[in-house]
Amino acid sequence: MKMFLFDLFSSEFYFNLDGSHYKKSTLQGVVLSLASITLVVSYFAYLLNQYLNNFIDPLYKSQSFITSDRKEIQLTDDLVGFQFQYNNSLSIQQYEVQQNKTYLVYYPLFYYQDTINNIYQIINLTVIQCTAPELKGYNCIDFSPIRNYTLLRHNSNGIMSQLQINIYGCLDLDSFKTTTPSNCAPQKDIDDVINGGQAGLNIQLKTQQYNTSSMTQMQETTVKQGLIIQGQQFSLQTGFGPYNQITIVLDEIVQQIQVQYATITQILALHDLPKLNFKVELKTQEKDFNKCLGNAIAQKLSIMKNSEIKKVIQSTIFKFQFFKSQEFLQSKGVEKKQMDKMRQEVQQNLNINELYKDVIFLKKAMSMLLSLDQMASIQLVGLTDNFMNLDLQNKNQKISYDQEKKKLNHFERQYSILQSEKLQTYYIERFLIKCQENCDLSEVDQRIFSSITKKNNLINYF
């Protein structure tokens, strides 16, 4: 059935039918093969969809080290966003609108120093409402007065800058906060807001990272940690500095991150697996084919069936050559036409149809030569215990054969010769001597001897 062609797990069958190779396939193998193919194709489609839609997480490799090189970040209005929460549902700004009173006041400062040139600067900044969509409802800092500055650290030159955000109670006064709004809440109410169980300060910092799309612009993401380190100091003493001071300064530790995205070749590598198996299978088939071909050539080249000669022939003709294989064979005396003819003969010998025709031919020949009673009686011919006791594998098999020869029937003696190369060599030598001395040669003897002497001896080529 054609459906068995889909069995990827079929066992190899090294004979062929009219030049076509076949494998032993099963229904279970077909079902398993189709399930495997469906799984592989589905998974490949899934991976390809993930890749095209940028859903495959990249591989990250990070390394942190301390450096004294110059590090700086541009001061943009959305660099930092902060918001004091009155509770889980209201910010302090929303609560102040409800109460029509002011509880907290923000005083941001920019500090710059250059110790080598003795430059020290403190610049007051103002708070504005953030305009970035992701910072809606947060407070940002107006950096327009210091556009020529950056948040930087350069330890080797003694230069650094930092940003401070001071959060005061409405009634607090110090060297920086010298005035109070007209609608300040009572100090007790301010302390209750600061010390509330659900009160807290939210801060969002902008960092710069490699863009995850195909564009060349930088991607901006709000994160809780990154290249910028945030510090907090608390003071709850009324009238003595801010309740909360946030210091933003660049760290000396630099983190290098290597981002490696999956490539389409890695996705396609999944489909290289069947190709690899196919190549290995072809190499295995070619190796088995060459082995059979080498054995067939060795049998035709050496009437002695010498195993060493077979090894020499196989290693010479079928020695693996990457380049100039034809030149190599010609250097050994084997022409391309001869090699093609040898392959053709082996292919024909491995063809089951040819083997079947030979068997039918032998049956017809036997039916022509044997009588009816002989044809029926030949079915009883077989091996006896005497043959089973004969050891044809040891070094002294000729001696063992001579000792058991009289106990063997005619078929067993003939069969023993076919099973032993040493016995074949012995009787071949006897036959050749008889032919050379021309002693009582029968017509069959003459035919065999003529076929031996008139055929080309390919051993001489090697």
Question: pLDDT (tens digit, 9 = 90+) per residue, 293-336?
Answer: 445 444 544 545 555 555 655 555 555 454 556 666 666 666 77
- Nearest CA to 296 out of 347, 254, 256 is that of 347
pTM of the complete model: 0.43
Q: How far apart are CA 459 and CA 89, in angstroms?
A: 99
CB count in 10 Å sphere of residue 242: 23
Considering the chain, what percentage of its residues have pLDDT values greater than 90? 19
- Nearest CA to 282 out of 48, 21, 5, 16 is that of 21
Contact 165, 108 (CB under 8 A): yes
Q: How far apart are CA 103 and CA 189, in angstroms?
A: 8
Mind listing the pLDDT tens digit for each residue in 338-381? Answer: 777 777 777 777 777 888 888 899 889 888 988 999 989 988 98
DSSP for residue 230: E
Helix extents (H) in 251-332: 264-268, 272-301, 307-317, 325-331
Mind listing the pLDDT tens digit for each residue in 211-264? Answer: 444 343 333 333 333 333 333 333 334 445 688 888 988 887 777 777 777 777
pLDDT confidence band for 459 (50 / 70 / 90): very low
Residue 275 has pLDDT above 90, yes or no: no
- The three-state secondary structure class of 294 is helix
CB count in 10 Å sphere of residue 128: 13
Contact 420, 408 (CB under 8 A): no
Q: CA separation (Å) from 1 to 4, 34, 95, 352?
A: 6, 15, 81, 19
Contact 72, 250 (CB under 8 A): yes
Mind listing the pLDDT tens digit for each residue in 132-182? Answer: 888 989 999 999 999 899 999 988 889 999 999 999 999 998 888 888 999
- The three-state secondary structure class of 433 is helix
Q: How far apart are CA 438 and CA 435, in angstroms?
A: 5
Structure tokens at 292: 């059979």
Sign of CA pseudo-dihedral 203, 209, 212, 214: positive
Contact 356, 17 (CB under 8 A): no
CB count in 10 Å sphere of residue 347: 16
Q: How far apart are CA 209 and CA 215, in angstroms?
A: 13
Mind listing the pLDDT tens digit for each residue in 118-137? Answer: 999 999 999 999 998 889 89
What pLDDT does 292 receive?
52
What pLDDT does 302 receive?
53
What pLDDT does 349 receive?
73
pLDDT confidence band for 452 (50 / 70 / 90): confident
Structure tokens at 450: 């003529």
DSSP for residue 144: G
Mind listing the pLDDT tens digit for each residue in 51-107? Answer: 888 887 777 778 887 877 888 888 988 899 999 999 988 999 999 999 999 999 999
Question: Given phi > 0 = left and psi -120 to 50 = alpha, else beta, which region is 305?
Answer: left
- Nearest CA to 240 out of 153, 287, 172 is that of 172
